[in-house]
Amino acid sequence: MAAPGASGLSGRVELSHPPGPFTVAVSADGRSRYVPIISLSGLSSARSYVAWVARPQLDSIIKLGRVKNGINRLREIDFEKFNVLISEEPSGRYVLRGQSPSTRLFPPDLLEFSVGGMGQPRDTAMHHHHDAEAGWPMVPTSPQLTMLPSEMALRPAVTPYLPVDSTAPVARASRRLRLRDGDTLHLEAGIVRRTIKGQTYTLYAFNGQYPGPLLEVTRGSQIVVLFHNGLPDSTTVHWHGVRLDDHFDGVPGLTQVALAPGETFTYHLRFPDAGIYWYHPHVREDVQQELGLYGDILVRPFPLSGTERGRGSEDVNREEILMLDDLLVGDTPIPLGLESPTHALMGRFGNVMLVNGEPDYRLSVRRGEVVRFYLTNASNTRTWNVSFTGARMKVVASDAGPFEHEAWIASVVIGPAERYVVDVRFDASGSSQFLNRVRGLDHLYGRFFSEVDTLGIITVAAQYVRPDHGAAFAALRRYPPLIADARSYLDRPPDHALILTLETHDLPFVTQRLMQLDSIYFAPVEWSGTMPMMNWASTGRQVRWILRDPATGLENTAVDWRFARGTFVKIRLVNERRAFHGMQHPIHLHGQRFLVLAVNGVPTENLAWKDTVLVPAGSTVDILVDAANPGHWMLHCHIAEHLSAGMMTHITVD
Ligand SMILES: [Cu+2]
C-alpha cells in the first residue's frame, strides 16, 4: 500500500524459501525464516530508498537495506508477524508498506456464531453415531490455548479402541541385531505392557521390544524375515525406503494380502543402498504405529567410506540411533478409532515425547566427543525441530544417503518418516539439552506461542575424549554431484503433478466455522496440536485427504501412473493454498529414491537421495524420481491419519 501522497509507487514482497537441507526453513526456536524479495516500481530516481521490517507493535525494527526500482533480494528475516516498510531518504518518511499474511490472523467475531459456539445444540450429523461416542475420555489440551465450550463438547463419532491384555509380557528396550547375508530373522508383532512416566499401558511391539529390534545389515546383503502376526488385528510389515522386490513391500491390496491374526509371512529382503531405514506396519498405521510398532534398519557402511562418498563411522567417537515418537495420553490412555481414525484433520499429536520409547533420553559423553545421531521420525503426524544446546551440529545425510556437502545447522526439521544423520560435537563440559522447539499457533486468537520439550540430557564429562576428531569435524566435506545433470531438470516442465488437498462433509458447526475463519492464514507447518478438540473429533468418515492429478482430475488410487524403468521422472507436488485446511504433508514413495529439486521454485543447492519429502502448507516441491526398481509402489502421505483417510496412490514402474 502506498502512503497518502505517494501516488504512482507500487511494490510487492515475496517471502521466498531460504535454500538449505530442509524444505522448511525455521530458526532453532521454531520461527519461520524467509528471504524477502521486494519488487518496486515508480520510485523517484532523484531520491534513495530503504526497506525495513517491523513487528506490528513497532517494538522491533530492522533495516533490510537500500532498494531500487526492480527486484531487490534482501537479508533473511525470522519475524512471525511483521510489516515491511519502504522509506524515502533523507526525510525518513515511509512511502510504501505491506503486511505479512500472518498479521491477518485476528480473533474471530465470536458473535458471528455464538449459538453454535456455545455448548449446544449437538450436531445433527453426529446424532447417528451417539452410541459410538460413549466411552471416550477427555483429551488433554494445552493451557496456552483458547477453547470454546462447543469445542470442548466434541467427541469422535467412532468406537474407541485400545488393546487389553493384562497378561501381556512387559516390553524390553530395543536390542541390536547384526544380520549377515543369508541370515533369517524371526519377527513377531504382539501385545506388550509398558510403563511410561509411572503409568502402565497395553501397547504393541515387535519381538516385545521398544522400538523393535535395530537391524544392522551390510549393503548388498539379503535376509529372510519369518514374520508372525500376534496382534488381535490384521497387519503387514513395510520396509520403509528399502529398494526391495515389491512382493515384499508389505502393502495390503497392492502387493500382498493383509495377514489375519495368527498368520505368518516370509519376507525376502535385499539392501542395495547404505543408509538408515525403518520398518512399520502398513495397515491402520494410525493405530498400529501409534501403539509402538516400528524399528530401525541401519545398512552399513554408512555413509559410504574410504574412496566412496561420505565420512565413515571411523570419523566419530560414537553412534546413536534415535527413534522420535509422541504418545497421546490423558488421565487414562486416549483410545484410537476402531472403524476409522480420529484426528483425521491434523493427525494425532502426542503429549509425551519419546526417544527410543523412553521419555527421558540420557547419554554420557566426554568433552570434545563427536557423536553421530541417526534420527528417524516415527510419530503419526508431528514434525520435529530438534537441537542440542551448547553444541555444534552438522547435517551429513538424509533418508537414503549423504548430502552433496556437509552443512552446519542450528536444528533438524524432520517430518514423519524422514531420516537425518547429524554429527554433533560436545565442546563444553556440563550438560547439553536435546530439545524440540517449535511455535504453536492459537488459532482462535491468532497468537503464536513457544513450545519447548526436553527430549533428553547429554552429560559431558570434563575429561577430553580420545581420539579427538575435532579437526575432521571442523571441516565441511564436499562430494561430487549425485547425478551428473540434476540441474538440467530444474527448467524442464514436470512430467506429472499432484495437488494435495482435502474434502470434508458433516463436520460439526463449530469446526466448520472456526476452520473457515482460520483459513485466512496457514503456517508452513502445523507444529503441534493447537486445535485439539476439533482435530480429535474429526474422523476418516468426515475428512477425505486427496492426491489429485490436475492433468486428468483423477484422485488417489485412480491416478495410477506408469513409468519406464531407468528413467528420471519429475513430479511437482502442489500443496493447495486454498484448501479448507492447509497443512504440511510428508509424501513418501515406496521402492524408489528421489531428489528434492526445488521448493517454491528455489533450487535445492545441496542434494541427497530421499524417499520422503515434507511439503509445507501452500508450497510447491519438485522431486526427481529415479525410477529404477520395477513393480507396483505406493505414493502417499505419511501422516498416519491422512493415509487412513485416503491420501494415497500407486505407481507402476515397468
Ligand atoms: Cu498428509
Gap from CA of 58 to ligand 1 centroid (Å): 37
C-alpha of residue 588 to centroid of ligand 1, in Å = 10
pLDDT at 348 over 50: yes
Q: What is the rounded average pLDDT of the residues 292-305?
A: 84
Would you state the pLDDT for residue 381?
97
CA of 330 from ligand 1 middle (Å) equals 25
Residue 443 backbone dihedrals phi, psi, to 5 degrees: -65, -35
What is the pLDDT, as a whole number, of residue 145? 79
- Bigger pLDDT: 145 or 596? 596
Q: How far is the CA of 392 from the centre of ligand 1 (A)?
A: 32
The per-residue pLDDT for 315 is 84
Distance 640 CA to ligand 1 centre (A): 8
Ligand 1 centroid from CA 503, angstroms = 13
Confidence band for 155, pLDDT divided at 50, 70 and 90: confident
The sign of the dihedral angle between the CA atoms of 559, 23, 517, 100 is negative
The pLDDT tens digits of the residues spanning 316-333 come to 999 999 999 999 998 778
Ligand 1 centroid to residue 17 C-alpha, Å: 21
Q: What is the pLDDT of residues 111-139, one digit of tens each?
A: 555 555 554 444 444 434 444 556 788 88
CA 469 / ligand 1 centre spacing (Å): 40
Which among 311, 423, 407 is positioned nearest to 372, based on CA atoms?
423
- pLDDT bin (cut points 50, 70, 90) of residue 5 is confident
Q: How far is the CA of 306 from the centre of ligand 1 (A)?
A: 39
Map grid coordinates 490384521 to a residue: 234
pLDDT tens-digit map of 190-207: 999 999 999 999 999 999
φ, ψ at 481 (rounded to 5°): -55, 150
270-274, 320-324, 485-489: range with lowest mean pLDDT: 485-489
- pTM of the full structure: 0.93
Yes or no: say if 163 and 230 are a contact pair by the CB < 8 Å rule: no
Among 263, 169, 63, 154, smallest CA distance to 535 is for 154
* Confidence check: pLDDT of 35 > 70: yes
Ligand 1 centroid to Cα of residue 402, in Å, is 26
**pLDDT tier for residue 232 given thresholds of 50, 70 and 90:** very high
- For the chain, what are the domain ranges? 10-104, 110-155, 176-303, 318-474, 486-653
Give residue 104's pLDDT. 83
- Find the 15 Cα to ligand 1 centroid distance in Å: 24
Q: How far is the CA of 127 from the centre of ligand 1 (A)?
A: 28
| C-alpha of 47 from chain center | 47
Please tell me the class of the 176-303 domain.
mainly beta
Question: Per mean pLDDT, which range of 169-183, 256-270, 434-448, 619-633 is the poorest?
Answer: 434-448
- Asked which of 47-51, 164-168, 235-239, 544-548 is least confident by mean pLDDT, the reply is 164-168
Q: Residues 561-587: pLDDT tens digits? A: 999 999 999 999 999 988 888 899 999
- Tell me the CA–centroid distance for residue 98 and ligand 1, in Å: 32
CA neighbours within 13 Å on the CB side: how many for 616?
19
- pLDDT bracket for residue 443 (50, 70, 90): confident
Specify the pLDDT at position 130: 43
- Between the two ends of the chain, the Cα-to-Cα distance in Å is 54
pLDDT value of residue 343: 94
Measured in angstroms, how far is the CA atom of residue 219 from the centroid of ligand 1? 31
How high is the mean pLDDT of the chain?
A: 91
- 522 C-alpha vs ligand 1 centroid, how far in Å? 14
Per-residue pLDDT, averaged over 547-551, amounts to: 98
Of residues 360, 367, 369, 362, the one with CA closest to residue 318: 369
- Going by pLDDT thresholds of 50, 70 and 90, the confidence category of residue 109 is low
Main-chain dihedrals φ then ψ at residue 557, nearest 5 degrees: -65, -15
Topology at the third CATH level for domain 486-653 = Immunoglobulin-like (2.60.40)
Judge whether residue 305 has pLDDT over 60.
no
pLDDT of residue 243: 98
| Among 213, 203, 215, residue whose Cα is nearest residue 169 | 203
Domain 318-474 has CATH 2.60.40.420: yes
- Cell numbers 488433554: residue: 140
Q: How far is the CA of 280 from the centre of ligand 1 (A)?
A: 18
Higher pLDDT among residues 152 and 398, named by residue:
398
| Least confident interval from 27-41, 141-155, 245-259 | 141-155
The mean pLDDT value for 590-616 works out to 96
Could you tell me the distance, in angstroms and rounded to a whole number, from the CA of residue 92 to the centre of ligand 1? 47
Q: Rounded to the nearest whole angstrom, what is the distance from the C-alpha of residue 341 to the centroid of ligand 1?
A: 13
- 647 Cα to the center of ligand 1, angstroms: 7
Between the CA of 287 and the centroid of ligand 1 the distance, in Å, is 16
- pLDDT higher at 498 or 145: 498
Kindly report which listed range (526-535, 550-559, 633-642) carries the lowest average pLDDT score.
526-535
CA of 340 to the centre of ligand 1 (A): 16
Q: What is the mean pLDDT of residues 227-235?
A: 97
Q: How remote is the CA of residue 436 from the centroid of ligand 1, in Å?
A: 21
More confident residue, 311 or 19: 19
**pLDDT-based confidence at 487, cuts 50/70/90?**
confident
Q: Do 200 and 194 form a contact (C-beta atoms < 8 A)?
A: yes
Considering only residues 454 and 156, tell me which one the structure prediction assigns the higher pLDDT.
454
Class for the domain spanning 10-104: mainly beta
Task: Provide the residues around ligand 1 (an ion) whose CB is within 5 A.
Answer: 585, 637, 639, 642
The Å distance, Cα 224 to ligand 1 centre, comes to 32
Judged against a pLDDT cut of 70, whether residue 386 lies above it is answered with yes
Tell me, yes or no, if the two domains 176-303 and 486-653 fold the same way.
yes
- What is the residue-wise DSSP string for 215-284? EEEETT-EEEEEEEE-SSS-B--EEET----GGGS--BTTTBPPBPTT-EEEEEEE--S-EEEEEE-SS-
- Number of Cβ within 10 Å of residue 195's Cβ equals 10
Tell me which of 230 and 127 has the higher pLDDT: 230
Higher pLDDT, residue 301 or 272? 272
